[in-house]
Chains A and B, each alone.
Chain A
Amino acid sequence: MSAITVRNLHKTFQAKHKAAGLQGSLRALWKPEWQMVEAVRDLSFDMEDGELLGFIGPNGAGKSTTIKILTGILHPTGGDVSVLGYVPWQQRRDLAYQIGSVFGQRPQLWYHLPAIDTFYLFGKIYELDDKTIRQRIGFLTEAFEIQDLLETPVRKLSLGQRMRCEVAASLLHKPRLILLDEPSIGLDVVAKQRIRDTIKRMNEVENVGVLLTSHDAGDIEALCKRVIIVNHGQIIYQDKVSALKRSYLTSKQVDVRYAQPLPDNFQVAGAEILKAGQYGIKLRFDTRITPVEAVLTQLATAGELVDVTISDPSLEEVIRTIYQQADASPARRAANGEVARERV
């Protein structure tokens, strides 16, 4: 069953346009110029029950706007949306019992109170009886390892600690689906990893669906099976994360170091040299044109090898490539994964 169905979603904002300076301000006061900003244009996608779906794109791509429409916070300008069978902006409250949400930049825990107080308040909000909420808090504090943090006022927690409490709070009412908007923003590497691990575990244990937006490819790589890449309010790619890597990770990078100095104009057939030094060389090649073996053979015959490193480009780089391709296409038309891949 589909947890989320989105068809031809549009959202246009009206923004006041103002010329610079005092003069511009005065003019805007008399005669405001309105500018239409299309935050989301013609978005369609589906998400299965219990799926881990990543939504990725740069700032202003329309990720947050989409999530906010899915939770019923924003009314769309056009299109159809169904989340767990509800139309979010019409059945906001019924839907809210079934989903949880975390907005990384907007805390939901009461700032001056210990998290446990907000947890109990949430129990009231979701109308859980005292016994259920106590059990649930017990379960979640263990899963998120936040036993020691519960009694401390939220303002005294670190960002990473607070975020773990935030995500736990969004799971109190056993939602079927959680929507996470930039849950890892501003966190350090260790804190990020901890959040990712717990989210993944909750998905496995309770089969809760996770829709996650991020501009950090690492989140998606660690968590999601499937990814949707948006830019300028449109989907420019959607497929499995593994397929994304397979189709884009066609180039390899090799770093080699030798015991003796290399000849001056050393070349490897079928590979591009990125950097050449006296004892080492860094090069890149496309595995579909030049087999790995051919490159390695050439390198091995050139001298006595001390060290070899072969690496894939990071997902980050892959995504950057996709953005560039989407931006470079003249009409910048909506392209799904298939089309994007054909162009490579």
Chain B
Amino acid sequence: MSKYWAVFKTQLLNNFAYAGDLAAGSVMIVLFLWIFAQLWKVTYSAVGTERIAGLSRQDTLWYLMLAEVIVLSKPRLARTIAQQVRDGSVAYLLNKPYHFLLYQCSVGLGDSVLRIVTNTLMGGAVVWLLVGPPPNPQGWPLVFVTVVLAWLLDFCITAMIGLAAFITEEVRAFEWIYQKILFILGGLLIPLDFYPSWLQTIAKATPFAYTLYGPARLFVEPSLLRFGEVVLGQVVWLAILAGLLTFFYQRGVTRLAINGG
């Protein structure tokens, strides 16, 4: 385990060297949240009620903030793995004494940690200024747990997309499509609660809802019951996706061995 910790730490330190880029990157979350604040200000005043589908304007914006933090802090894993497969450096990674996927996971986490921090600070500051204080801090530790699990869910899916590079050269298209499906079915741009009920049912049955909607909704309305539901769903999906990932990885490696042979 200690070697993965070391990989994580090195990657984290490496990111400190690009502190300027990191700060500049968090400009994006400020921009998105500011636009969302305008959109929902107009929409709430047009609807004329305090709450829409049980969420106040304040709730909606804090929900969107957490969802954006998760999306904007993801590592560009699929692209990285695809690049490594294409330029052959994957061979160096495969013959080192660690598990390729756990290695990628440590690197990815090292990449994300700082971004999660800066995005949360910047995004939180904007939303606080625009609509007021964040939801009950007692729920934060629970939210943190679900954010970590959400990150792992996303890791499994993006790693699978990256592994697709064993078969096809170009994986960016898959990355875009996954990203947009995540946006819609995960509820990045509007809380799922505002969807027509049939679509809510579909969305909530997918892992995407557990990546964004689950943690974000828990954030604005923390409760142990909700926490239990979210974590249960996340763990079940994680088991399924991790299984699939391992399966595809083993298939991919054999393929690579044949190519290299």
Contact = CB atoms under 8 A, between A and B. Distances in A.
A98 to B, nearest CB: 41
Contacts of B54: none
A29 interface: yes
A37 B171 CA distance: 45
Interface in A14-67: 22, 29
A24 to B, nearest CB: 13
Contacts of B17: 22
Interface string B1-41: 00000000000000011001000000000000000000000
Contacts of A29: 20
B13 to A, nearest CB: 11
Interface residues of A, number: 2
A23 to B, nearest CB: 13
Q: Secondary structure of the B side of the interface?
A: helix
A22 B17 CA distance: 8
Contacts of A22: 16-17
Nearest to B17: A22
A29 B19 CA distance: 12
A22 B20 CA distance: 11
A29 B17 CA distance: 14
A309 B20 CA distance: 63
A212 to B, nearest CB: 34
Nearest to B16: A22
Contacts of B20: 29
A22 B13 CA distance: 12
Interface in A79-121: none
A29 B21 CA distance: 13
Nearest to A29: B20
A92 to B, nearest CB: 35
A226 B20 CA distance: 51
Nearest to B20: A29
Interface string B144-183: 0000000000000000000000000000000000000000
A60 B16 CA distance: 32
Interface in A141-166: none
A81 to B, nearest CB: 39
Closest 3 CB pairs of A and B: A29-B20, A22-B17, A22-B16
3 contacts: A22-B16, A22-B17, A29-B20
